[in-house]
Amino acid sequence: MLDNLRNQGGSDVATNVRRLQITAPVVRRTNATGGVVVDQQQRTHASVQLSKRPKDLHSLWVEYTHGIGGLKAARDFNNVERGRVKQKYYRRKVYWDVICNHVNAGWTAAAAVDLVYQVYGPSLSVTRILDLMLSDRKTYNGRPHPRLRVSNQ
């Protein structure tokens, strides 16, 4: 399906479909009436991990809110689970905090992510943007870049 969309010039549509596919839970079963039931409680300790190389900041946000590929959402990690992925969690938390602040202030998540791309540049990798956000947090006394601050901060 994605190849057909790309061939028809719908690369934006294909990107959005791919983004929605990664949020789909993996564990599915059918009930007695034949309907599909998603069981999110059947997650093991192996499902507590973060993606190795997120392709873009949108998928990084989805990883935090919903989890990717049936994995547990990063916002639901407890202390022990955060400790298992300490380095990745630490580096991504600065980004997640900025997006959370914007969403809580009434922004949509997509608009907040686009703002981060405007501040740091759309051509930079996810790793480079996270590095710059960490250095900005040190530069601005624990706060994000001035253009990423919500008015109530």
Q: Where are the domains of the chain?
A: 45-148
User: Which token pair is 10?
Assistant: 């719908």
What residue has token string 């981060």?
A: 116
Report d(CA 68, CA 112) in Å as an integer.
Answer: 20
Check residue 118 and give its pLDDT: 96
Report d(CA 91, CA 94) in Å as an integer.
Answer: 6
Report d(CA 42, CA 26) in Å as an integer.
Answer: 10
Lowest mean pLDDT among 27-31, 75-79, 87-91, 108-112: 27-31
Q: Who has greater pLDDT, 26 or 82?
A: 82
Check residue 32 and give its pLDDT: 66
99-to-32, 75, 116, 126 alpha-carbon distances in Å: 41, 13, 9, 14
